[in-house]
Amino acid sequence: MIKKYLLAPGPTPVPPEVLLAMAQPVIHHRTPQFEAVVAEVRDGLRQLFQTQQDVLVLASSGTGAMEAAVTNLTSPGDRVLVVNGGKFGERWGKIAAAYGLAVTEIKVEWGCAVDPDVVARALDEHPETRLVLAQGSETSTTVRHPVDRLAAVTRGRKALLVVDGITAVGVFDLPMDKLGIDVLITGSQKALMLPPGLACIALSERAWRAADESTTPRYYFDLPRERASQAKDTTAWTPAISLIAGLRTALDLMLTERLPAVYARHELLARATRAGVQALGLRLVAPDDPSPAATGVYLPDGVPGKIVGYLRDEIGVTFAGGQDALKGKIVRLAHLGYADAFDVIQGLAAFEMGLARFGHPVKFGAGVGAAQAVLMDAFPEPSR
């Protein structure tokens, strides 16, 4: 038997409480019973997003909400600015291009965060820009972008700041209203500890005004229509009923732990993972601005990318490899959502053994030990 451990940056493991909530018989959605679930979820999501606004729940993966942001806030021919520092930044550009928008692209070196001054200069050059499209955490490179400083750039300008927070919301503190984020998005299969299939999106007052003026064609992802329905604790279309039942439980778990503790947990696991891989002599993909969601690490010379498949199939631990230019060169060890100290320990132990199997000289326990030293912070002194 090989027990399976899922340590990829999405999908992430689902807690047993959430699995049980989703295993309940499906109830009809046009009922007071389901409306009560939606009401609770709406309240929980407002707390998670740290906003007074409605957080809409859509039946799609995260990309659906990204597309909804673009189609609901633009008109044909509008200009948008894309922060492209990886696969997900690139996706913003592809969505905008698919709808015929004019795109200013800021290419960011993979592994680095965007420089907000560069964004400010690009907006000064194109003051007509409608949207700045960025990631809070660029999962493909494991970089965290400076959303607070991007928000300071868009404040007082025409452009709205749209943040793909799919591996940021519920991972680190990203207070939507306080920072002045205009659109914040997340998806179910990352920090929300659910299977894939839900996206969540919130708009600021200023973004809702832009939605009123937008003329880009859309049908399924019609956010004003969704907002009107969800204000009545229902949804425009048939919702993903079981996932929303699971979301209620997942939000309850996060809010019971308390958000500051959730963020501190992610930060600690990230710090321990970085300490572990560095103790193995490996190089981080994002040394300067690492995301607390996942840690990207370069494989040592001579260790092929197929180690990821070996770890998954022979050792039982699923990490993610690299994409495009980083394909075959990196491993991404995730630590978001339903993750704790011993996920980090197991992941590093498996990684050490995999590296050894591929001929890399490993002092067993070196990475694990470095992580343990950091993880001690998670455990209180014993009472006397």
Distance CA 318, CA 358 (A): 17
By CB under 6 A, the count of residues binding ligand PLP is 12
Assess 63 for contact with ligand PLP (CB under 6 A).
Answer: yes
Q: Out of 43, 59, 61, 175, name the contact with ligand PLP by CB under 6 A.
A: 61
294-298/143-144 β-pairing: unpaired
Dihedral sign of CA atoms 341, 346, 351, 352 in order: positive
Closest CA to 261 of 343, 195, 340, 176: 340
- Please pick, from the candidates 166, 202, 207, 210, the single residue that binds ligand PLP as defined by CB under 6 A: 166
By CB under 6 A, the residues from 224 to 263 that bind ligand PLP are: none
d(CA 332, CA 8): 7
CB of 161 to ligand PLP, least distance (A): 15
Binding mask 85-114 for ligand PLP (x = CB under 6 A): ---x--------------------------
In contact, 290 and 112? CB cutoff 8 Å: no
Site string for ligand PLP, 179-208 (x = CB under 6 A): --------x--------x------------
Number of residues that make up the chain: 384
Is 62 a residue that touches ligand PLP (CB under 6 A)?
A: yes
When asked if residue 10 is in the footprint of ligand PLP (CB under 6 A), the reply is yes
Residue 336 in the binding site for ligand PLP (CB under 6 A): no
Quickly count: other Cβ atoms within 10 Å of residue 54's Cβ: 20
DSSP 281-333: TPPBSSSSSB-SSEEEEEPPTT--TTHHHHIIIII-EE-B---GGGTTTEEEE
Cβ neighbors of 139 (< 8 A, separation 6 or more) are 9, 10, 86, 87, 88, 166, 167, 291, 293, 294, 332
CA distances, 326 to each of 112, 143, 320 (Å): 14, 14, 11
Is residue 154 close enough to count as binding ligand PLP by CB under 6 A? no
What is the nearest approach in angstroms of ligand PLP to the Cβ of residue 121?
25
- The answer to whether residue 139 forms part of the interface with ligand PLP (CB under 6 A) is yes
Q: Which stretch binds ligand PLP (CB under 6 A): 161-169, 174-182, 264-272, 371-379?
A: 161-169
The answer to the question of residue 323 lying near ligand PLP (CB under 6 A) is no
* Least distance (Å) between residue 366 CB and ligand PLP: 30
The phi-psi region of residue 10 (left if phi > 0; otherwise alpha if psi is between -120 and 50; otherwise beta) is: left
Q: Which stretch binds ligand PLP (CB under 6 A): 59-67, 98-106, 209-217, 305-313?
A: 59-67
Give me the least distance between CB of 187 and ligand PLP, in Å please.
Answer: 4
The whole-angstrom separation of Cα 253 and Cα 338 is 10
Instruction: Tell me which of 50, 135, 141, 154 binds ligand PLP, using CB under 6 A.
Output: 135
Residue 190 C-beta: closest distance to ligand PLP, Å? 6
Window contacting ligand PLP (CB under 6 A); options: 164-172, 282-290, 342-350, 357-365: 164-172
Asked if 34 and 230 touch (Cβ cutoff 8 Å), the reply is no
Part of the chain binding ligand PLP (CB under 6 A), chosen from 159-167, 256-264, 267-275, 300-308? 159-167
Separation between Cα atoms, residue 343 and residue 365, nearest integer Å: 15
Angle at CA of residue 250, ends 235 and 226, nearest 5°: 15
Binding site for ligand PLP (CB under 6 A): 10, 61-63, 88, 135, 139, 164, 166-167, 187, 196
